[in-house]
Amino acid sequence: MNHSDDDSRRLTVNVALGPRSYDVVVTHDRPAELSATASAWLERSWAGRSCRRALIMTDEHVATLPPVANVRDALGALKIEVETVAVPPGEASKGLATASELYDRLIAMKADRHTLIVAVGGGVIGDLAGFVAATYARGLPLVMVPTTLLSQVDSSVGGKVGVNHPQAKNIIGAFHQPIGVWIDTATLDTLPVRELRCGLAEVVKYGVILDAPFFEELEGRAGEVLDRRPEALRRIIARSCELKAMVVTQDEREETGLRAVLNFGHTIGHAVEAVAGYGGGFQHGEAVAVGMVAECRLAERLGWIGPDLTARLTTLLERFGLPTSLAGLDPEALLDAMGRDKKNRDGRIRLVLPRRLGAVELTDAATIDDLLDVLRDLCRTAS
């Protein structure tokens, strides 16, 4: 991580992918710096060097907020002609029908391979705009401006973009790295508290899977983070991006299996989302939080870890206001949903389980009985 001026008020994480390398800049309320930063990113990109037009893709909730105006001003200062398109907020927009409307907009503005796409919003916008950028004219330069904690620490870094099919989430997609990611923690000042907490579940995940000292830091700074102190937010976001970049640079396209460690909490978490109903009782980060607790319990049953790790994880998640039980859900339905996970092989459910704090392993060692016992216990427990 590179530290720069004003007592680390701007942190930079490099995602080292050879010719596809890019920087993630984490700052707080410094929109005046975006123009020069975007100019440098465009200059490093073959497609960006000749950029004279840009399309900002956002949603109707974000369209009137400062991040969109900041991007327009920054690109306007570079003499780039900017248009903005806003789609309805929510997962329903992340499909081929919306993508097709965005292609129409690009054709209407005579976009070519030097037209910049800027995704301003949460994970849905990042995935959708990234997919359009990856597929229009076989690839347009893309800048990510994530505005939720979840998108800042997760979906904006790594190059996975995609849209949903009516039968499956994220099943139509590509790998398309951005030319840069601009994270302004000031956008979190007005983020609903539930969405802040959902992002914190992914932050905690990085500590469990890769960095025990970072987990300990989160335990010690939970109050500062919940108070949204800019320095604390910059630190946890930059470290999360750094840890994700470390994995992505070693397994960019999910070919070696290393990137699977990022799925800790997600196998059970995705099942929770599916059974509770998307947009239902569990948002993504909440489902991942309970998934992490369940997967720690499984590791305990296998004798991989002691109960202390599960207890520390549960305490930290509850400190962040996240659920740690599945009261009211059906364990058999959860198990059935887990059977459709894309990590499974030869009919066996594979999960990422902790070996110790800071280290996890992809395994199919847990039996159906192990899974059912853990799920039944969590479904009985009131959070």
Q: Which residue has the tokens 């470290």?
A: 239
Residue type, 275: V
Q: Measuring CA to CA, which residue among 163, 78, 160, 152 is closest to residue 122? A: 152
211 is in an annotated binding site: no
Got the DSSP string for 190-223?
GS-HHHHHHHHHHHHHHHHHH-HHHHHHHHHHHH
Got the DSSP string for 263-329?
GTTHHHHHHHHHHHTTTTS--HHHHHHHHHHHHHHHHHHTTSS-HHHHHHHHHHHHHTT-----TT-
Q: Measuring CA to CA, which residue among 157, 102, 155, 104 is closest to residue 133? A: 102
127 is in an annotated binding site: yes
148 is in an annotated binding site: yes
β-pairing, 22-27 with 11-15? antiparallel
Do 328 and 379 contact (CB within 8 A), yes or no? Answer: yes
Q: Which residue has the tokens 């330069």?
A: 141
284 is in an annotated binding site: yes
Do 354 and 264 contact (CB within 8 A), yes or no? Answer: yes
Instruction: For residue 124, report the phi and psi dihedrals to the nearest 5 degrees.
Output: -60, -45
Do 131 and 60 contact (CB within 8 A), yes or no? Answer: no
169 is in an annotated binding site: yes
**138 Cβ neighbours under 8 A, 6+ residues apart:** 113
94 is in an annotated binding site: no
Structure tokens at 200: 């914190």
231 is in an annotated binding site: no
Catalytic (active-site) positions? 138, 160, 202, 244, 254, 259, 263, 266, 270, 284
E-only strand ranges, the chain? 2-3, 11-15, 22-27, 53-59, 81-87, 116-121, 142-146, 160-165, 168-175, 180-184, 351-356, 359-363
189 is in an annotated binding site: yes
28 is in an annotated binding site: no
3 is in an annotated binding site: no
171 is in an annotated binding site: no
Q: How far apart are CA 15 and CA 22, in angstroms?
A: 5
266 is in an annotated binding site: yes
Binding site listing for NAD(+): 123-127, 147-148, 160, 169, 187-190
Q: Which positions make up the binding site for Zn(2+)?
A: 202, 266, 284
Task: Cite the annotated binding site by residue number.
Answer: 123-127, 147-148, 160, 169, 187-190, 202, 266, 284
